[in-house]
Amino acid sequence: MKNITIALTLGILLLSSALLVSIPRNVIAQQEEAEVDYTMTKEEIQAKITEFKAKHPKYAAIVEEIPNLDLKETVKGYLAAGAVQKMLKFHAKNLVEERVANATGSGGSGSSPIDEMMTDEQIQTKVTEFKTKHPKFAAVVEGISNLDLKETVKGYLGAEVLQKLFKYHAKNLVEEQVAPTQ
């Protein structure tokens, strides 16, 4: 049993390092923001949206609407992007566990080396529920269960950037509402 645990741990480490090497450097650079600056003008947000649409076409319909959203819709979009991230995270964990099981020949028996899991069926159920609550995100979540690991990570990072765009827009909306009363 101890040998299987060691093999699974080594397999996860091996897959993780292989994944990190295969992620394009510009994606990693996006994640290396040392200090978070939530100050962006509407023009800067629009420029980021244009750049983002080119990198993540599935999110294009959502990001085009960000400048026109009110605060309630912006917060709802922020939370929805977080939910997309969570679904993609679980899908990535399933893919990694499947690769480790195939590499070690354990065939999926025994307990999972990853504590927090959702089965593919549970993810698909969440996707169906999510599409009814957030129809704008339907194109994004539609094929989650068919993504490979690289596409899943790219989608996860895209959802993270989308959350930041929603956050910048929400901050600007709050500042606009507060500024006239000062």
Q: How many domains does the chain have?
A: 1
Q: Tell me the whole-structure pTM to 2 decimals.
A: 0.67
Nearest-angstrom CA–CA distance, 155 and 3: 34
Pick the residue with more confidence: 58 or 106? 58
Q: Is residue 165 a contact partner of residue 52, using CB atoms and an 8 Å limit?
A: yes
Nearest 10 degrees: CA dihedral of 93, 91, 148, 62?
A: -130
Long-range contacts of residues 173-180, Cβ cutoff 8 Å, at least 24 apart? 173/70, 173/71, 173/74, 174/71, 177/71
Instruction: State the pLDDT confidence band at 162, using cuts at 50, 70 and 90.
Output: very high
From 8-12, 26-30, 62-66, the region with the lowest mean pLDDT: 26-30
Q: Which domain holds residue 6?
A: 2-181
Average pLDDT (137-147) is 84
Average pLDDT in the 68-73 region?
Answer: 93
- pLDDT for 75 equals 94
Looking at residue 7, its pLDDT comes to 57
Structure tokens at 153: 């990570």
pLDDT tens, residue by residue, 129-138: 888 888 888 8
Backbone dihedral region for residue 41 (phi beyond 0: left; psi -120 to 50: alpha; all else: beta): beta
Q: What angle do CA 115, 137, 80 make, to 5 degrees?
A: 50
Q: What is the pLDDT of residues 118-132, one digit of tens each?
A: 777 888 888 888 888
Interval 28-40 mean pLDDT: 55
Percentage of the chain exceeding pLDDT 70: 71
